[in-house]
């Protein structure tokens, strides 16, 4: 059987913050040949670090005005985002510190094609500042989880996790730093494995063959 060479899947990364996970995704894809390539960065925050990162790596990027709500895009804006992602031939999405809830237009346009990284061992500590929740609960371990995004908050199917110890001297901040180290190793590995699964499931769309 002749092995077919394939183009990597085009990944859009959505983030609202400094973008250290986006950096890990980009750097991993530059170091070796993976099943994804970061093709677009989107932020809902005009001066977010993640947009500066896009400049540094010369990856197309957009500040995407979210509309009037604090915790989600307006439906109209989310539909416009879907149109942009389609126009740029994005295959799947990775959330990396994206602080808005994903709603139906995006979920329907990319069914089971949106992944997220969360800084706890889900289902424990969903929601905001999971590292602080772990310290306050005096947990002896926490970690990070890569999961599919669904209609809930941090409830989607789990793709992979890394455990991280919590010491009783930990502050929320140094626990978050320890978790982030684990995130930067886990996320690229999981996104690559996920892209590989998508390619296999779809028996490689024709336009992905070289």
For the annotated catalytic residues, the residue numbers are 118
Distance, in Å, from the CA atom of 51 to the CA atom of 19, rounded to the nearest integer, reads 8
Distance, in Å, from the CA atom of 153 to the CA atom of 79, rounded to the nearest integer, reads 20
Distance, in Å, from the CA atom of 132 to the CA atom of 76, rounded to the nearest integer, reads 34
Q: Kindly state the smallest distance separating residue 105's Cβ from ligand GRF, in Å.
A: 21
Closer Cβ to ligand GRF, 170 or 199, answer by number: 170
Distance, in Å, from the CA atom of 57 to the CA atom of 79, rounded to the nearest integer, reads 27
Tokens of 205: 């769309």
Q: Is 145 among the residues that bind ligand GRF (CB under 6 A)?
A: no
Write out the binding residues for ligand GRF, residues 114-143 only, by CB under 6 A: 117-119
Distance, in Å, from the CA atom of 73 to the CA atom of 65, rounded to the nearest integer, reads 8
Closer Cβ to ligand GRF, 131 or 199, answer by number: 131
* Other beta carbons within 10 Å of 20: 18
Q: Is 62 among the residues that bind ligand GRF (CB under 6 A)?
A: no
Q: Is 8 among the residues that bind ligand GRF (CB under 6 A)?
A: no
Write out the binding residues for ligand GRF, residues 150-189 only, by CB under 6 A: 180, 183
Residues in contact with ligand GRF by the rule CB under 6 A: 15, 17-21, 96-97, 117-119, 180, 183
């Amino acid at each position: 059987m002749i092995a077919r060479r394939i183009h990597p899947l085009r990944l859009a990364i959505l983030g609202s913050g400094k973008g250290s996970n986006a950096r890990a995704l980009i750097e991993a894809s530059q170091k070796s040949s993976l099943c994804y390539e970061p093709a677009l960065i989107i932020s809902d925050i005009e001066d977010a670090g993640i947009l500066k990162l896009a400049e540094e790596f010369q990856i197309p990027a957009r500040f995407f005005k979210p509309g009037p709500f604090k915790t989600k895009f307006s439906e109209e804006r989310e539909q416009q985002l879907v149109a942009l992602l389609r126009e740029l031939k994005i295959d799947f999405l990775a959330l990396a510190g994206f602080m808005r809830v994903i709603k139906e237009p995006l979920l329907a346009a990319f069914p089971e094609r949106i992944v997220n990284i969360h800084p706890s061992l889900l289902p424990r500590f969903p929601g905001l500042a999971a590292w602080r929740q772990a310290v306050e609960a005096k947990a002896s371990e926490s970690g990070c989880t890569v999961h599919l995004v669904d209609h809930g908050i941090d409830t989607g199917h789990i793709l992979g996790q890394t455990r991280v110890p919590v010491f009783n001297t930990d502050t929320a901040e140094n626990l978050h730093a320890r978790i982030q180290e684990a995130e930067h190793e886990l996320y690229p590995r999981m996104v690559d494995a996920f892209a590989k699964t998508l390619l296999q499931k779809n028996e490689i769309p024709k336009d992905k063959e070289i």
